[in-house]
Amino acid sequence: MAFDVCRGGFDLEVECRFQAEWTVIFGPSGAGKSTLLRLLAGLEIDEPSRRPVVRVVLDGKPLTDSARGLRLKPGHRKTSLVAQQPALFPHLDVAANVGFGLHKLGRDERAARVAEMLELVDATGLRRRRPADLSGGEAQRIALARALAPQPRLLLLDEPFSALDGAASDALLLRLQGWASQTRTQVVMATHDASDALAAAAEVALLHDGRLAALGPAGQVLAAERARLLNRLR
Amino acid sequence: MDWQALALTLKLATVTTAILLVVAVPLAAWLVLGRARWLAAVEALAALPLVMPPTVLGFFLLVMLGPRTAFGRGIAGLLGHPLAFSFAGLVVGSVIYSLPFAVQPLVAGFAAVDPALVDAGRLLGAGPARLVTSLLLPLARRSLVAAAVLTFLHTVGEFGVVLMLGGDIPGATRTLSIVLYNQVENFDYAAADRTAAILLGLSAVALAAIYLSRRKADRLGLGGRQRGGSRD
């Protein structure tokens, strides 16, 4: 992927290749993580002050190539995004939310997939609840189930566990890693929390001021962060 | 009481409202979901009847639909009669005249839907039609009701366009507003009182229905900006 995007006074200039099954984009708030995920997902960004240069290729197939005026629609990229805010559809119950992206499946297949996804995120008991009746953590689980249900090739996670406590977050991360590995789904997760990045034990792209500062194994790229966390524990 | 005029007025308002909802829902969705800058010009065009004097609009339509233009002659050839001074002509005029009353509440309602929900729908493969039917309309249903009621009432009270484009043909173009105008012109104030009371009553009942439905929606927690989310 390659981006050269300007939003207001903020420049995002990134060019890299994510090859690992699980990549963490790590950086402080405002580093450009969410913008980068939106561009990967094919969503528009607000009012770019100059023409953005964006090139996203997945499995050798271009999804976005601004030079050629190509941008596959978000629903046609086999890509799902779990944003920081769960954005559950308030007029639909949990089961309908999770099944929203499965309209091409038959009723039975859809129901089975919804049940499978709810089980994966440990939310089977919530299927008839409305989003307004869910806690923040429950809503994030449902948003994750909804994003996984269409079985995307690329899963984008933007601080997806921010409303979950440490233990619940770790447990869900473990389940998600197992699922991604089993279904050969490539995951790109943005976080500003070093412990999330280290727990994922993945390739880490360090983003700073809209630039890619480092890309490599979590242990290497986040060595300083790891030492800081360990010092805090002592 | 001119029952024929009342029936014609209600028929005109019903047909106009039905047509306008079919036209205004996709138009409003396009204006809200579209990103092109020139959509501002479309929005301005759709709002033009708000500031255009009804008599001017009626005059333009009378000329355009009459035998002086190729368009008017073409329509007359197609239907076997000119559109001007007919019920169908009144419907065309009413649809154009009431367009902003259908489009603007819908634009406001659709724009109030959290963009994150629309993004989520797009990511899950929803095209424009499904975004409208599965997300925007259910989340902005009060705006749909408001658009329908405002369009209906605006058409019921229409005078300038009706007079210019339809004239005063009983059973074809004579609506209650024309009847009221005739009654006042003939100094028949008793009859004019009754006609005016009916027009006023229709407006009051319909507006009360809008506000009642709004209060009911607020009680059920469906009011205000629709955000995806949860309690914390």
Determine, for residues B35 and A88 on separate chains, whether the beta-carbon distance falls below 8 Å: no
User: Which CATH number belongs to the domain containing residue B158 in this structure?
Assistant: 1.10.3720.10
Domain boundaries, chain A: 90-151
CA–CA gap between residue A141 and residue A123 (Å, rounded): 7
CA–CA gap between residue A47 and residue A6 (Å, rounded): 9
Residues 6 or more apart whose Cβ sits within 8 Å of residue A15: A1, A2, A3, A212
Contact criterion met (CB below 8 Å) for A35 and A12: yes
Q: Does residue B232 have a pLDDT over 50?
A: no
Looking at chain A, which residue has its C-alpha nearest residue B114? A87
Across the interface, of B35, B116, B221, the residue whose CB is closest to A83 is B116
Query: For position A111, what pLDDT does the model report?
Result: 95
Which domain does B113 fall in, by range?
3-219
A133 at interface of B, judged by CB pairs closer than 8 A: yes
**How many CB pairs lie under 8 A apart between chains A and B?**
91
Where residue B224 falls among pLDDT bands split at 50, 70, 90? very low
Higher-confidence position of A83 and B230: A83
Q: Does residue B113 have a pLDDT over 60?
A: yes
Determine, for residues A132 and B232 on separate chains, whether the beta-carbon distance falls below 8 Å: no
Is position B224 within any domain?
no
Residue A14, class by beta-carbon neighbours within 10 Å (0-12 exposed, 13-18 middle, 19+ buried)? buried
Across the interface, of A91, A135, A146, the residue whose CB is closest to B139 is A91
CA–CA gap between residue B161 and residue B120 (Å, rounded): 44
Chain A residues lying within 8 Å of B226, measured CB to CB: 90-91
Q: Does residue B121 have a pLDDT over 90?
A: yes
- Interval A174-223: pLDDT, tens: 899 899 989 989 999 988 877 777 766 678 888 777 777 777 887 777 77
Higher-confidence position of A225 and A120: A120
CA–CA gap between residue A218 and residue A229 (Å, rounded): 14
What is the total count of domains within chain B? 1
Is position B230 within any domain?
no
- Interval A3-29: pLDDT, tens: 666 555 556 667 777 777 888 888 888
Torsion angle, alpha carbons of B75, B77, B83, B84, to 10: 110
Is position B63 within any domain?
yes
A208 at interface of B, judged by CB pairs closer than 8 A: no
CA–CA gap between residue B97 and residue B57 (Å, rounded): 8
Across the interface, of A75, A86, A136, the residue whose CB is closest to B228 is A86
Which pair of structure tokens corresponds to residue A124? Answer: 């089977």
Where residue B221 falls among pLDDT bands split at 50, 70, 90? low
Q: Does residue B42 have a pLDDT over 80?
A: yes
Across the interface, of B125, B221, B228, the residue whose CB is closest to A150 is B125
Query: For position A45, what pLDDT does the model report?
Result: 65
Is position B214 within any domain?
yes
Which pair of structure tokens corresponds to residue A48? Answer: 């770019």
Closest to B207 (Cα-Cα) out of B136, B152, B135:
B152
**What's the mean pLDDT in A49-65?**
78
Determine, for residues A83 and B230 on separate chains, whether the beta-carbon distance falls below 8 Å: no
ipTM: 0.86
Residues of chain B with pLDDT > 90, as a percent, come to 55
Q: Does residue B68 have a pLDDT over 90?
A: no
